[in-house]
Amino acid sequence: MGKKDDAQKGFVFKITVIGDGAVGKSSLIKKYTQGSFKKDYIKTLGAQFSKYDEEIEGNNCKLFFWDIAGQREFDFMRPTFYKGSKAAIIVFSHTDDDSFDHIPEWHEDIKNYTGELPIVLFGNKTDLIDENNTKDEKTAKLVEERDFLGYYKTSAKTGQGVFEAFQAIIKKLYHKYKDA
């Protein structure tokens, strides 16, 4: 066990991705981890997870993205899926006002089971709307009130903002735990 081993210290982060059904959670994860986008909507049943390895400052980070189904019929399963989360991403769709209105419910739901976590908000499907219709003021107020780490406009289809948005939460976790 020399210095070389210390430099190879690894990190494992479970990041839970939540939000209403059909807002693009699975597509965003797929875009980030595989660089692809599938046009057909396939409903997530319960949860699915994706493992992704990333190197930050020479350290290996194992990322487990838990994609939690947004439909009400899966409410009872969520507490189990939330367990062990180090951070969360709440996703809403710019084409679905209800998904925006439900952000506080999602936040309270995960907080009940995990306590305070670093949370980033993704406003997805920006490719389908006029850039002026993104509720920026309302969103900024919500991010401030709820003390989220930030807000990113994303498009799983075009890739806009996806890399930056995921990097924000991953780097926050890395810096939080590397000195711990």
pLDDT in tens, 47-72: 888 999 999 999 999 999 999 999 88
Residue 9 pLDDT: 66
Residue 41 pLDDT: 63
Residue 3 pLDDT: 43
Q: What is the mean pLDDT of the chain?
A: 90
Task: Report the percentage of the chain scoring pLDDT > 70.
Answer: 92
CATH superfamily of 7-178: P-loop containing nucleotide triphosphate hydrolases (3.40.50.300)
* Domain range list for the chain: 7-178
4 pLDDT higher than 60: no
Lowest-pLDDT range, 7-16, 39-48, 131-140, 157-166? 39-48
Distance (Å) of CA 64 to CA 29, 93, 142:
10, 23, 27
* Average pLDDT of span 117-141: 90
Residue 44 pLDDT: 77
Residues 6+ positions from 134 with CB-CB distance below 8 Å:
94, 123, 126, 153
125 φ/ψ sector (left φ>0, alpha ψ -120 to 50, else beta) = left
Please report which confidence band the pLDDT of residue 147 belongs to, taking 50, 70 and 90 as the band edges. very high
pLDDT in tens, 64-95: 999 999 988 888 888 999 999 999 999 999 99
pLDDT in tens, 5-40: 444 568 999 999 999 999 999 999 999 999 877 776
Q: What is the pTM of this model?
A: 0.90
Nearest to 177 by CA among 61, 82, 66: 61
Higher pLDDT, 38 or 130: 130
